[in-house]
Chain A
Amino acid sequence: MRMADILSRVYVAALFVFVFLPILTSVVFSFNSDRFPTVPLGHFTTHWYETAFSRPEVWLAFKNSLIVAFCAASLSTMLGFVTAYTDFRYGFRFKTAYLALALLPPTIPLVIMGLAMLAWLGRLGLSGTLIGIIIAHTVMGAPFAMAICRMRLQQMDPALEAAAWNLGASPWRTMASVVIPFSTPALISAFCLTAAVSFDEFIVAWFVSGLNKTVPVMILEILQGNVDPQINAIGTVVFLTSITLVILAQLLILRRSAT
């Protein structure tokens, strides 16, 4: 191998180290005994996990986060699927505007979504409720779900539906026994990815949550105090959860494009 090729691979490796360093740091220091983390490391301990998870409010936050992630992911996936199917199946006037409306939310900075949601949900009497957070996270997750479902539908032969209709199946029946089974991997993958989005989102949740805190909101509030290695412990659990969800989602995407 030439020198330049070796250097370019080292460069890629360095970039990956930079990207994954914070994640690794969090994991390593969550098991480290020193309160103020530095090298050389102290000794191995599970102390921070024990302290963090002996607090009832941590468990409550995890429960809130799970409820929100599950509901927001279900809603996002449904909304994403119906929109992706509309885009796949139909052409109509103002379709560009329709798609822009569907895909725009991720371009709006989260702080702004937070402010707008705070004011709007307040008017609807939903501020400070988990429902408010679920609504906000669904708005943010649906575009991702739509993109995933749309990619899957792209792989479906459009004649498949027409064939089912010609054989006498109603559109509803065709949807239930042809389109949805074909899209199942995408639906699961969209569910996992939007659950990960919701599980990690803290800005909008922080604006609208009130007393019903989710895990990231709790981390945010601990962060405003002092250095506290409990964050590493909680953070490691959060990382594991979202990494599992994202990897699961991607494996489903990769497997389905192989078949």
Chain B
Amino acid sequence: MAIKLPLRFRLLHLMATKTEANVHDLMKDLRAEYGNEGQFSVKSFENHLTSMRASGLIEETDVTLDEQGKLLETFTITDFGRGRLKYLPNSWK
């Protein structure tokens, strides 16, 4: 059985399986794994994504406003980000 990854690493792994995704897509996919933890919040996910974007691991493909007029950014993984996947534990490769 694969070990549970730190959330940021899991987000990077998940981004590698998708063409693109926004924060709500990612939270929906990870609810079963991390949904009962204090860090499972839009703010925390957005912080990780903003940081990963600044570090060049992911890049934005689209920006829109949601129904409440809040910013919704869509991201895709970069080649640089894919390069970091080689540091995944074997059970996740």
Instruction: Decide if A and B are genuine partners.
Output: no
